[in-house]
């Protein structure tokens, strides 16, 4: 530091006062000596650079030293401050650490002294391991799942002396304890897995691995799947386009079907627990020719021109009758075993009956078209009646009820099979519940019995009587009742197959426009033109108006599942009734007031067109 004084001694005295030390502790360097100016009239002081000797400065700083904290060999070491120095402080923030100072737990920032008793604990996280066994859906394969979560060991890292310390916590991973092959094998055996299905190499690998694993360790004996008979049919059998019937679809001699391979019965397997894995029971199906076809070994050929068909496993060819021009009073009514095509109009009071398709290349006026298959009219229908396959139209309603009866019967069988673990009272209670459910099914059938023909209702009533009789016998614990219940079950299964065959071959009525006509279809009714006026439409599946601008003006529409229309009703609020039989069904379109919409037995609200 620079001091100005008239003499060296005066500058030293000033420095002694400033630094607070003696002259012996100072070093003096003359920068500029005192001198006189203006012929000795003015005296200028000298300039001296005076500093405290280095060793004395270090001693002074040491006398005022701050306290320190040091971490060495995982111990916390503290030194106190000297003179005017401040105490050391320590900051830590770790969830696994607990710090006690003089027996009191501390957290955050802590001030420490040498005499403090400092103790700390670091809680390790133990490794975790869970061993589980999982089975595939078919129990053919078993997996061992070993979840390994590493643990952690915590320790204080060394830290040099510092006045304000922040602890650094180090950590090391801790592996799970090894698991033995025998331990895992025991778990597999406790799960019921047979020892002969356990695979040794994957098991050892799973135990040796340090990471989590999910590995196949057991595999049963896989079944050999059954294979159904392989039969190929000509593509024309499955063509649904009615207009293809305007000319013969196939010619005489065409190959209609060929059996390429017999059915193969599979071999049951064993799951890892030794339970049998069943295979599908298959019966070999043979091809069979019916009218219009002839069989040669494993092949069936057409014996005449016409339209091929497949029904109940039999292949045949429907003949074709073509009428060129109008069908009117000057011609006879038609009753034909095959397809009928009229290349003209059908005039008033005519009747066409056909076991095949009916195609009209014109319009129909006040006449009847009755087909076991499909009907298409390329013009309009005014009055009269159109019917396509109505014998099976009720099957759409009957099928879910029959399937429900099958499920109830299965529940009854399940209750009987549990007899070894149940008392007589529990078994009879199960049977009583099954009877009540079955009564409910027949009650549902009664509500829609108007949809069924005489033959169908006869079948339903026979089943009802059989159930009543078998429940009486079972209640008396007669063996005959259980035998009869099984026979009913077999009949229901056969009925479902028959119904599904009929439904899969749904009939279609396709027209451009219908006015004051009654149209019935076991499948769909499709309106391709302007719509309908005061018509009665009934379809087993769907009534569909293809154009968005189609208008349904009055009349009654009843469908099994869906009614899809453009506009229903008129501004004049003409009465129009629409209903679908399926609770999951729907009616879509825009509606005028005067329209009634029903889903099953529930009236559906709608927002009317203003």
pLDDT digits (tens, 9 = 90+) for 74-103: 999 999 998 778 899 999 889 999 999 999
The CA distance from 562 to 87, in Å, is 88
Specify the pLDDT at position 41. 66
Tell me the average pLDDT across 298-314: 89
Q: Which residues contact 16 (CB under 8 A, 6 or more apart)?
A: 22, 23, 26
φ and ψ of 429, to 5 deg: -65, -40
**pLDDT at residue 196 above 80?**
yes
Q: What is the pLDDT of residue 253?
A: 93
Reported confidence tier of residue 394, pLDDT bands at 50, 70, 90 = low
The count of other CB atoms within 10 Å of the CB of residue 421 is: 7
Distant-in-sequence, close-in-space partners of 78: CB < 8 Å, separation ≥ 6 = 67, 68, 69, 70, 88, 112, 113, 114, 116, 118
d(CA 233, CA 173) in angstroms, rounded, equals: 68
HEC-encoded secondary structure of 465-493? HHHHHHHHHHHCCCHHHHHHHHHHHHHHH
Residue 274: the pLDDT is 93
CB count in 10 Å sphere of residue 522:
29
pLDDT confidence of residue 512: 96
pLDDT at 39: 63
Q: Given this model, what pLDDT does residue 244 score?
A: 47
Does 466 have pLDDT greater than 80?
A: yes
Contacts of 498 (CB under 8 A, 6+ apart): none
Q: How far apart are CA 576 and CA 472, in angstroms?
A: 48
β 159-162/75-79 pair status? unpaired
Q: Give yes or no for residue 423 having a pLDDT over 90.
A: no
Report the 10 Å Cβ neighbour count for 197: 20
Q: Sign of the C-alpha dihedral, residues 31, 33, 37, 41?
A: positive
Residues 256, 260, 265, 266, CA torsion sign? negative
In angstroms, the CA 598 to CA 593 distance is 15
8 A C-beta contact, residue 540 and residue 506: yes
Out of 23-27, 230-234, 285-289, least confident range = 23-27
Dmax of the chain from CA atoms? 164
DSSP class per residue in 280-339? ----PPPPEE-TTEEEETTEEEESSSBEEEEETTEEEEE-EEEEES-B-TTS--EEESSE
pLDDT-derived band of residue 483, with 50, 70 and 90 as boundaries? confident
Give the confidence band of 404 by pLDDT, cuts at 50, 70, 90: confident
* Percentage of residues of the chain with pLDDT beyond 90: 52
For the beta carbon of residue 515, count every other beta carbon within 10 angstroms: 16
In 448-581, which ranges are continuous DSSP H helix? Answer: 454-475, 479-504
Q: Average pLDDT of the chain? A: 87
Q: Read off the pLDDT of residues 534-555 as tens digits, 9 standing for 90 and up.
A: 999 988 889 999 988 899 999 9
Residues 567/553, Cβ–Cβ less than 8 Å: no
For residue 176, what are its two tokens? Answer: 């799970």
For the four alpha carbons of 287, 292, 296 and 301, in that order, the dihedral sign comes to negative
Say if residues 451 and 397 touch (Cβ distance below 8 Å).
Answer: yes
Is the pLDDT at 197 greater than 90? The verdict is yes
Average pLDDT over residues 574-585: 91
Helices and strands in the chain: count of H runs, count of E runs:
8, 47
Q: What is the mean pLDDT of residues 451-474?
A: 83
Half-sphere CA count of 69, side-chain side, radius 13 A = 23
- pLDDT for res 87: 92
Q: Are 498 and 516 in contact (CB under 8 A)?
A: no
For a pLDDT cut of 70, what percent of the chain falls above it? Answer: 91
* Closest of 21, 11, 14, 17 to residue 47, by C-alpha: 11
pLDDT at 262: 93
Per DSSP, the residues of 135-167 read E-TTSSEEEEEEEEE-EEEEEEPPEEEESEEE-
DSSP 227: B
Choose from 386-400, 404-418, 565-579 the range with maximum mean pLDDT: 565-579
Q: Which residues of 159-185 are buried (b: 16+ CB within 10 A; e: fewer)?
A: beeebebebeeeeeeeebeebeeeebb
Token pair for residue 196?
A: 């002969």
- pLDDT value, residue 40: 60
User: Over 90: is that where the pLDDT of 17 sits?
Assistant: no
Q: Does domain 395-504 have CATH number 1.20.120?
A: yes
Model pLDDT for residues 122-164, shown as the tens digit of each residue: 999 999 999 999 999 989 999 999 999 999 999 999 999 999 9
- Name the least confident of 220-234, 317-331, 496-510, 513-527: 496-510
In tens, the pLDDT along 46-67 reads 888 888 876 655 555 556 789 9
How far out from the chain centre does Cα 427 lie?
37
Q: Evaluate if residue 238 carries a pLDDT over 90.
A: no
Q: Indicate if the pLDDT at residue 190 is higher than 90.
A: yes
Where is 44: in which H helix or E strand?
Answer: strand 42-44
Query: What's phi and psi for 292, nearest 5 deg?
Result: 90, 0
Average of pLDDT values for 505-517?
Answer: 90
Pick the range with the lowest mean pLDDT from 85-89, 299-303, 431-435, 519-523: 431-435
CA 113 to chain centre: 66
* Number of Cβ atoms within 10 Å of the Cβ of 146: 19
Of the candidates 550, 566, 558, 570, the residue with the CA atom closest to the CA atom of residue 525:
558
Q: What is the mean pLDDT of residues 212-235?
A: 93
Residues of the chain with CATH 1.20.120: 395-504
Identify the pLDDT of residue 245: 46
Distance (Å, rounded) from C-alpha 279 to C-alpha 281? 6
Q: What share of the chain is helix, strand, coil (3-state, %, to 5)?
A: 25, 40, 30
Beta carbons of 600 and 592 less than 8 angstroms apart: no
């Amino acid at each position: 530091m620079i001091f100005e004084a008239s003499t060296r001694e005066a500058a030293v005295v000033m420095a002694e006062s400033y630094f607070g030390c003696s002259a012996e502790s100072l070093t003096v360097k003359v920068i500029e000596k005192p001198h006189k100016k203006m012929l000795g009239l003015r005296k200028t002081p000298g300039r001296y650079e005076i500093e405290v000797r280095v060793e004395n400065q270090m001693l002074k700083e040491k006398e005022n030293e701050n306290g320190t904290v040091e971490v060495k060999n995982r111990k916390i070491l503290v030194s106190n401050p000297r003179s005017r120095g401040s105490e050391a402080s320590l900051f830590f923030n770790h969830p696994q650490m607990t710090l006690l100072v003089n027996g009191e737990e501390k957290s955050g920032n802590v001030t420490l002294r040498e005499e403090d008793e400092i103790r700390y604990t670091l809680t390790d996280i133990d490794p975790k391991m869970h061993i589980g066994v999982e089975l595939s859906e078919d129990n053919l394969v078993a997996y061992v799942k070993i979840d390994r979560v590493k643990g952690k060991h915590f320790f204080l890292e060394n830290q040099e002396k510092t006045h304000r310390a922040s602890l650094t916590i180090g950590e090391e991973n801790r592996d799970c304890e090894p698991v033995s092959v025998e331990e895992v094998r025991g778990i597999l055996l406790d799960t019921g897995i047979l020892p002969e299905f356990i695979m040794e190499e994957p098991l050892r690998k799973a135990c040796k691995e340090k990471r989590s694993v999910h590995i196949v360790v057991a595999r049963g004996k896989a079944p050999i799947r059954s294979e159904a008979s392989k039969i190929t049919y000509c593509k024309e059998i499955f063509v649904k386009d009615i207009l293809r019937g305007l000319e013969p679809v196939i010619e005489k001699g065409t190959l209609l079907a060929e059996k390429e391979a017999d059915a193969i019965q599979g071999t049951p397997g064993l799951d890892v627990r030794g339970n049998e894995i069943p295979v599908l029971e298959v019966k070999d199906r043979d091809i069979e020719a019916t009218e219009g076809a002839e069989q040669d070994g494993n092949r069936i050929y057409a014996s005449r021109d016409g339209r091929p068909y497949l029904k109940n496993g039999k292949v045949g060819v429907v003949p074709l009758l073509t009428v060129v021009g109008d069908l009117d009073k000057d011609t006879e009514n038609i009753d034909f075993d095959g397809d009928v095509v009229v290349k003209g109009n059908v005039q008033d009071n005519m009747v066409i009956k056909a076991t095949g398709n009916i195609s009209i290349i014109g319009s129909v006026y006040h006449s009847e078209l009755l087909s076991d298959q499909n009907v298409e009219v390329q013009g309009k229908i005014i009055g009269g009646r159109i019917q396509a396959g109505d014998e099976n139209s009720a099957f759409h309603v009957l099928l879910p009820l029959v399937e429900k009866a099958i499920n109830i019967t299965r529940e009854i069988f399940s209750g009987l099979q549990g007899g070894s673990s149940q008392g007589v009272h529990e078994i009879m209670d199960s049977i009583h519940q099954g009877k009540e459910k079955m009564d409910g099914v027949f009650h549902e059938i009664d509500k829609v019995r108007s949809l069924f023909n005489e033959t169908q209702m006869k079948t339903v009533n026979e089943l009802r009587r059989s159930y009543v009789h078998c429940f009486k016998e079972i209640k008396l614990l007669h063996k005959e009742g259980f035998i009869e219940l099984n026979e009913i079950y077999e009949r229901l299964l056969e009925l479902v197959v028959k119904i599904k065959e009929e439904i899969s071959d749904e009939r279609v009525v396709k027209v451009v426009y219908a006015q004051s006509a009654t149209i019935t279809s076991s499948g769909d009714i499709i309106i391709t033109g302007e719509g309908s006026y005061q018509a009665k439409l009934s379809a087993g599946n769907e009534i569909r108006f293809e154009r968005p601008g189609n208008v349904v003006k009055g009349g009654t529409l009843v469908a099994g599942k869906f009614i899809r229309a453009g506009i229903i009703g008129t501004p004049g609020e003409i009465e129009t009734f629409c209903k679908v039989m399926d609770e999951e069904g729907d009616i879509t379109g825009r509606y005028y007031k005067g329209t009634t919409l029903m889903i099953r037995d529930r009236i559906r609200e709608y927002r009317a067109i203003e």
